[in-house]
Structure formats: C-alpha cells, structure tokens
Structure 1
Amino acid sequence: MDSHALLQTLTLLIVGHALADYPLQGEFLAKAKNRFAPVPGVPWYQALGAHAVIHGGAVGVITGSIVLGVLEALSHMLIDDLKCGHRISYNVDQLLHVVCKFIWLGLLAWGPALP
C-alpha cells in the first residue's frame, strides 16, 4: 500500500468511526449498552454488541477485511465496556478507538494479506 492509499484508508477509518460512534449510535444504544446502568427490559449485551457490529462493519467495508472488522467489533466492545464501568474516561475511550485504527492500518500495510 502506498502512502496515499494509507492516508486515504486512515481518513476513511476515522470518518467511519465518527459516524458509527455518534449519529449511528443514537441515544438508545448509548444508554442501553451500559451494563452498569441498564435500560429496563433491554439486554445490555445486545445493545453493546449491536453498536460494536456497526463499528466492525464500517472497518470491514473500508478495509475489505472481515478479520479487521471482527477485531474492531471485539476491541470496541471491550473499550466501551471499560468506559461504561468508569475504568477509563471518555477521552481515553476515544483515544483507544483511534489507536485501534492505526493498528488496523499497520496490519493492512505491513502484515500478511488479511481475508
């Protein structure tokens, strides 16, 4: 991958993150995904899973890699759960999400071909 393609992919990953974390999450998922303050009648793990799958789908579409999409979904679930449990702050949450995008980019650029 040349530097232009890397920069373009990184930009799309960041834009995808912003879309998935803000307008595509909405107030319902933002509240319902929190196992420490659950919405009555809504399984928190379904809401958190749905939110994470939106993120994983964005990464998968942008990178063309189902493996990176799954890694994104899993890491997003873990990071958001840490934030909901007040183990990390909102700013650390967002930083870790962006760090993941750089990791995915590195795997794309320097790792073996990913399905």
Structure 2
Amino acid sequence: MRNMLALMIGLHMLADYPLQGDFLAKAKNRRVPIPGVPWWQALGAHSIIHGLAVGIVTRRLSLGVAETLIHAWTDDAKCRGRLTYNQDQAIHLTSKVIWAALARREGTPS
C-alpha cells in the first residue's frame, strides 16, 4: 500500500504542476476563461490525466473514474473561490489515501 500511495502522490505532483502548466491552470477556470477555450474541456483534460494515473497505479478503472470526477469537482470549487489552495491539495492527497486503501482491500498488489 505504501508503494502505491507514494507512486500516486508523486504522479499527482507531476500532473498538478509541470503537466498542468500555465495554459491548463488558466483555461480550466470558468470565472476567468481563456477566450475561445471551453473551460470544461481544459478542466476535463486535466482531471482525466489525474484519473489515468490513479487507474494505472491501482489497476482499477473505477478508481480512475472516481479520481477524475473528484479532481474536477475540487479544482472547479477552488477556481470558483469555494476552496483554498491548501484545502484543494488536502482533498487531492486524501483521495489518494482512500484509493490506495480501496485497491489494497480489493486485492491489487502494492
């Protein structure tokens, strides 16, 4: 479980910082969208990257989908001013703990 959790956290940091980049960070914000770029497409792309990482690590499509949905909801709430940056990151990291525990319970090798 520790290896799986460490890998998911590392991939989260990769996906939330260098892979997100300035374009997605700005384009996913429905309050201040980039003209001509649908915010929901940018948010969806960013969230799917996170879901893909979780799905690959846990080998559970259901956990990848859950990560995609929760990541999208969390980032949208942050962009809309309903969550702080630290609350956003706490939800993301807590989600990884939950995914690792569920994958372990379901028998995914760690």
Q: How high is the TM-score relative to the length of structure 2?
A: 0.94
**Counterpart residue identity of residue 3, structure 2:** Q
Partner of 1:3: none
Where do 5+ consecutive residues of structure 2 fail to align? none
**Counterpart residue identity of residue 21, structure 2:** G
Q: How does 1:9-88 map to 2 (within 5 A)?
A: 9-88=4-83
Deviations 1:9-56 (A, max 9, x none): 000010010000001101000000000111100000000000000000
Aligned residue-pair number: 108
Deviating above 4 A after TM superposition, structure 1's stretches of 4 or more consecutive aligned residues are none
From 89, 93, 98, the counterpart of 1:94 = 89
Deviations 1:52-96 (A, max 9, x none): 000001111111111111100000000000000010100010000
**Counterpart residue identity of residue 26, structure 2:** K
Q: Give me the CA root mean square deviation.
A: 1.1
Q: How high is the TM-score relative to the length of structure 1?
A: 0.90
Identity %: 55
Where do 5+ consecutive residues of structure 1 fail to align? 1-5
